[in-house]
């Protein structure tokens, strides 16, 4: 009997979700490039995919979200440390909700994406108020909510695709 060398599943999942996150980060930086907060720049799509892939594994999710936040900070040349703190905070809060509730329906997960965007608005406002050198207008809050709706619309097929690829099919009702 020959023993096959296999990659541990945690390491494999880390690189899969990091690769997906990096792909969306590159798309965001090139294709959807615009203002700092633009309703048509789909910032949180890669966070969404990372969250869906790692919500059941706390350490892996925190590590990937911190790494992606650090990359966003380095590539944006603005407020070093904001997204390094923001992305793990978003993951932590979503993980706390995810582990304490039983999300059976795909539609509930679909609405969860919009709740994630609203959470993002509050965290951005709190962190920007702490950093007094940054201006943040109310119209930008509206842009983030519009961005949340767009991300929610894109998120439905992504959630279904994630469930299909991971063989965790769930009903649509």
- Letter string b/e over residues 50-87, b meaning 16 or more CB atoms within 10 A of that residue's CB: bbbbbbebeebbbbbbbbbbebbbeeeeebeebbbebb
Q: What is the pLDDT of residue 34?
A: 45
Ordered per-residue pLDDT tens for the chain, 173 residues: 455 555 556 566 666 666 665 565 555 544 444 444 444 444 555 566 666 666 677 887 788 778 877 777 776 666 666 777 777 877 777 777 667 666 555 566 666 666 766 766 676 667 666 666 556 566 666 666 666 666 666 666 666 666 666 665 444 44
């Amino acid at each position: 009997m020959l023993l096959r060398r296999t990659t541990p599943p945690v390491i494999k999942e880390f690189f899969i979700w990091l690769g997906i996150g990096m792909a969306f980060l590159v798309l965001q930086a090139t294709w959807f490039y615009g203002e700092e907060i633009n309703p048509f720049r789909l910032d949180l799509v890669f966070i969404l995919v990372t969250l869906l892939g790692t919500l059941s594994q706390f350490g892996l999710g925190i590590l990937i979200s911190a790494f992606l936040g650090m990359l966003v900070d380095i590539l944006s040349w603005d407020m070093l440390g904001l997204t390094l703190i923001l992305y793990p905070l978003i993951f932590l809060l979503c993980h706390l909700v995810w582990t304490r509730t039983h999300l059976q329906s795909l539609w509930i997960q679909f609405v969860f994406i919009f709740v994630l965007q609203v959470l993002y608005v509050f965290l951005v406002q709190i962190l920007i108020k702490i950093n007094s050198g940054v201006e943040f207008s109310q119209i930008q809050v509206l842009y983030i909510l519009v961005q949340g709706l767009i991300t929610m619309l894109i998120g439905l097929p992504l959630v279904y695709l994630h469930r299909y690829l991971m063989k965790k099919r769930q009903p649509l009702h």
